[in-house]
Chains A and B, each alone.
Chain A
Amino acid sequence: MHYKAFDNVSDKRFSIVAKSRYFFIFSIIITLLGIVTLLYHGLNYGVDFKAGSSVDISFKKDVSGQKAQIEQFLKDNDFGTPGMTFGAKRVTLRFDDVLTDVKENTLKQGIMDKFDKGASMEVNTVDVEIAKELQGNALKAVLVASIGIMIYVSIRFEWRFAVAAIVALLHDAFIVISLFSIFKLEVNLPFIVAVLTIVGYSINDTIVIFDRVRENLRFAKLKTHEDVANVVNASIWQTMSRSINTVMTVLFATICLLIFGSESIRMFSLAVLFGLISGAYSSIFIASPLWLALKSKQKPKPTAKSSAAS
């Protein structure tokens, strides 16, 4: 029973469980802030969610000095004044109307003839209906997946773990959505994939800590609420270096993609980055304390043995 030794260790460490109220408050504030911003200005939907076309042009040479010429070219060819983002070698155009394929060709040909033969383009044209449907579809998928995970965790662990894990998971997905709303970052289809990635990571991370809690519960002598709280706290600390190291390695990967990866997955990488941080935070500071809170609501039974059941 070497686990007893950890109980002593945990006593000396900072008690996450004891301070859990502050973490709950912090998360609730962020969530409320998210709801308010979402209601106030919603999400900054990119082309995938608003009818129209987006054209991403990647030039071989520096065209930053030719902004006026490009604008003129667009005007001359009846393209109106689309939204423009200008980089040295990259120009993004956003048309409110869907480009017909004839116009698309005129644009491609014109850009290549007038400005840069080596220019390469990405053109996205979307019917709003499809994007909304995909969004709804993803949302439905997350909810169904949550139910599936809840059933599995309820069988393998206990329903309280399931509830806590799902709360943490939805918390993470929502935080990312809120942050994108607060900073008005563009939401496109890859964003949905990013949210799904976060859901996958978040649940993975939470389960690892829960597994340790469950294991420690088996060996611990539980008489009072403090005993259970100590086990939770010890479990969090025992898995702390794993939690930190894992999130660090995944963060490395994401930051690499953010810095060196292609422009087209920049928003995706950023969403994953937010989600990873939130996922690690919620697994450590929200999920287990929440389980404890649910557990302490449980009606006391004559012997403490029952609470060790898994």
Chain B
Amino acid sequence: MNRRLLMFILIVVVSFGVVGGLSKWVVDDVKLGLDLKGGFEILYEAEPIDATSKVTKDSLNETAKSLEARANSTGVQEPEVTTEGDNRIRVKIAGVTDEKKVRDVLKKPAELTFRSARGCAADAGYCKVELTGSDFKQNGADVQQTNLNQYEITIKLKDASKFAEVTREVSKLSPTGSPLAIFLDETMISAPNVAQEINSSSAVISGDFTRDEAKNLKDTINLGALPLKLTEKYTQSVGATLGKKSLDETVYAGAIATVVILLFMMIFYRLPGVIASISIIVFIWLLLLGFNLIHATLTLPGIAAFILGIGMAVDANIIMAERIREELRSGKSILSSQKAGSKNSFRTIIDAHVTTAIAALVLFFIGVGSVKGFAVILLLSIAMSILTNVFFSRLLLTLLLKSGVVKKKSNFGVKESEIRAL
């Protein structure tokens, strides 16, 4: 047995060893999208709470963070909260058991406002919003017990001077002071009287609360510091069993397709087909590993990109094998056919991959949501495909041919009668 053959066998054995040994780990680690696992996705559009302000990048990010905190508070695994464009937030939560609860928590607008009757018509009540959720510090609410064994909630403000200004103005309304009502959404919690300017960064909400009520209120306020108003623009919810079924069926279909393709390659192209099959298996494994490394989530569009990736991987192998066959038919020796075939096919394969990569890059930068996901996986598969189906395939074939064990052109699926004399 010669060195090159040994090397070939070693590489194949090690590759299969790694693929076989680590595939359970790699496959288990693949993060599944909600369409394959069950869960839900909501796309919110954010609007400013009062008409005068604008949605800024900061307020959007802050809102996204609060949403994530809300989702986390319900104990779901890895909620995915991302901002999109200027005014959108996408929340994806996979594998939820109690979807209703999570959605309720996310939805609860819990907009905390301090309102006064400044400049309002006589019967309009507290029409003027003096302070909004974004004026309060996040997680700044706390429960305290008073001397009278009552519970009160303290909240912290971001800006003491703003509170001073508001209280000064409100207290001026009447000689005895005027109420500054505290609203949670449209419900008034209390309406304490402000008799003078309060120059402080904290305020107290007192009322006839039980301990539990006070605690609930505190939690709601803490959750409720959403700087922006959100409206649902798109929701998708997939039952866990349905998602699992989709995944099982798709994997089953994919497995059958892969087996058929590999068989086709081996029967039709013989030796290069066998090499191609090894490369394609390594390619699929590497692609899954790549998913995990870049923390990509596998969704149905992702599977589409995966199929296109496998298509290109098979194509690369077919282009090379066909090219080698052509060279063989023209009468060249096996070794020089392989050399010329690999060289000539290389440019074609790279051109084909690069053009698809350009399309994928554009989709990545322009696309949103599922289109972006599709592009990421397509780009990844292009990179992996060049690595395995060009370099790895070629290395294996070169080693095997140089070892001298392959002597017959029929091993390439070329009939003796097809070979022309030089």
Residues of A within 8 A of B (CB): 2, 5, 56, 58, 101, 104-105, 118-127, 129-131, 134, 137-138, 140-141, 144-145, 148-149, 152-153, 156, 165, 189-190, 192-194, 196-197, 199-201, 203-205, 207-208, 211-212, 215, 238-239, 241-242, 245-246, 248-250, 252-254, 256-257, 259-265, 268, 272
Given contacts A119-B239, A124-B237, A125-B232, 7 further A-B contacts (CB under 8 A): A101-B107, A122-B236, A145-B362, A200-B360, A200-B378, A249-B265, A260-B256
Please name the residue on chain A nearest to B368 by beta carbon: A137
Asked if A264 and B366 make an inter-chain contact with CB atoms under 8 angstroms apart, the answer reads no
From B239, B322, B374, contact of A121 by CB (8 A): B239
Q: A257's closest neighbor in chain B, by CB?
A: B253
Closest to A212 in B: B348
Q: A197 and B245: CB pair below 8 A? A: no
B260 touches A252 (CB 8 A): yes
> Which B residues between 8 and 51 are near A, CB-CB below 8 angstroms?
35, 38, 43
B401 in the interface (beta carbon within 8 A)? no
A203-B359, A242-B318, A262-B245 known; A254 and B366 CB under 8 Å?
no
3 closest residue pairs by CB, A with B: A120-B239, A120-B241, A260-B253
**Contact of B355 (CB < 8 Å), options: A126, A189, A190, A204:** A204
Number of A-B contacts (CB under 8 A): 219
B235 and A138: CB pair below 8 A?
A: no
Query: B370 an interface residue at 8 Å Cβ cutoff?
Result: yes
For B344, list chain A residues within 8 Å (CB). 215
| Bound complex: CA A205 to CA B245 (Å) | 33
- Decide if A245 touches B268 in the complex (CB within 8 Å): yes
- Tell me the interface secondary structure of chain A in the complex: helix
Note all chain B residues with C-beta closer than 8 A to A211: 347-348, 351-352
Inter-chain contact B234/A126, CB cutoff 8 Å: yes
Min C-beta distance of B106 to chain A, whole Å = 10
Complex alpha-carbon distance, A104 and B38, angstroms = 16
B240 sits at the interface (CB 8 A): yes
User: How far does the Cβ of B325 sit from chain A's closest Cβ, in whole Å?
Assistant: 8
**Can you identify 29 A-B contacts, CB atoms within 8 angstroms?**
A58-B239, A58-B242, A120-B38, A120-B240, A120-B241, A122-B237, A122-B239, A131-B234, A134-B371, A140-B366, A141-B366, A149-B358, A152-B355, A190-B301, A192-B371, A193-B370, A193-B371, A194-B304, A200-B308, A207-B351, A208-B315, A215-B344, A250-B307, A254-B307, A257-B254, A259-B253, A261-B249, A261-B253, A264-B300
- Nearest chain A CB to B327 CB, angstrom units: 8
From B240, B250, B352, A207 is in contact (CB under 8 Å) with B352
A246 touches B318 (CB 8 A): yes
Residues in B297-334 with C-beta less than 8 Å from chain A: 300-301, 303-305, 307-308, 310-312, 314-315, 318-319, 322, 326, 330-331
A124 near B351: Cβ-Cβ < 8 Å = no
A121, closest chain B residue (CB): B239
Cα A197 to Cα B307 in complex, Å, equals 9
Q: How large is the interface on B (under 10, 10 to 19, 20 to 34, 35 or more residues)?
A: 35 or more
- Residues A197 and B368 in contact, CB atoms below 8 Å apart: no
CA distance A211 to B345 in the complex (A): 9
Complex alpha-carbon distance, A245 and B344, angstroms: 19
CB distance from B269 to the nearest CB of A (A): 8
Contact A144 B237 (CB under 8 A): no
Which of B233, B257, B355, B371 sits near A203, CB closer than 8 Å? B355
Does chain A have a CB within 8 A of B207? no
Residue of A nearest to B40 (CB): A123
In the bound complex, residues from chain B placing their C-beta under 8 Å from that of A199 are 359
Closest B residue by C-beta to A55:
B237
Residues of the B chain whose Cβ atoms lie less than 8 Å from the Cβ of A137? 366-368, 371
Tell me the chain B residues, 270-322 only, with Cβ under 8 Å from chain A: 300-301, 303-305, 307-308, 310-312, 314-315, 318-319, 322
Check if A105 sits within 8 Å of B100, measured CB to CB: yes
Cβ of B252 within 8 Å of any chain A Cβ, yes or no, is yes
Shortest Cβ distance from A45 into chain B, in angstroms?
A: 15
- CB neighbours (8 Å) of B366 from chain A are 137, 140-141, 144
Q: Is the CB of A252 within 8 A of B352?
A: no
Q: Does B246 contact A (CB under 8 A)?
A: yes
Once the chains bind, are A256 and B260 in contact (CB under 8 Å)?
Answer: yes
Q: Name the interface residues of B155-183: CB closer than 8 Å to any CB of A.
A: none
With an 8 A cutoff between CB atoms, is B76 at the interface? Answer: no
In-complex Cβ contact of B315 among A197, A246, A259 (8 A): A246
- Flag if A189 contacts B370 (CB, 8 Å): yes
> For B103, B256, B330, B378, which residue has the most chain A Cβ atoms within 10 angstroms?
B256
With a cutoff of 8 Å between Cβ atoms, the chain A residues found around residue B308 in the complex are 197, 200-201
User: Which B residue sits closest to A138, measured CB to CB?
Assistant: B371
Q: Are B356 and A134 in contact (CB under 8 A)?
A: no
B331 CB contacts on chain A under 8 angstroms = 2
**Interface membership of B127, Cβ < 8 A:** no
Scan residues 337-393 of chain B and give those whose CB is less than 8 A from a CB of chain A.
Answer: 344, 347-348, 351-356, 358-363, 366-371, 374, 378
Complex contacts, A148 vs chain B, CB 8 Å? 358-359, 361-362
| Residues of chain A lying within 8 A (CB to CB) of residue B369 | 134
Specify which chain B residues have a CB less than 8 angstroms from the CB of A272 in the assembled complex.
Answer: 304, 307
Which of the residues A124, A138, A250, A257 comes within 8 Å of B236, measured between beta carbons?
A124
For the complex formed, measure the closest distance between the CB of A116 and the CB atoms of chain B, giving whole angstroms: 11
A123 and B236 form a contact (CB under 8 A): yes
The closest CB in chain B to the CB of A60 belongs to: B241
Q: Mark B185-216, 1 if CB is under 8 A from A, else 0.
A: 00000000000000000000000000000000
With an 8 A cutoff between CB atoms, is B261 at the interface? Answer: yes
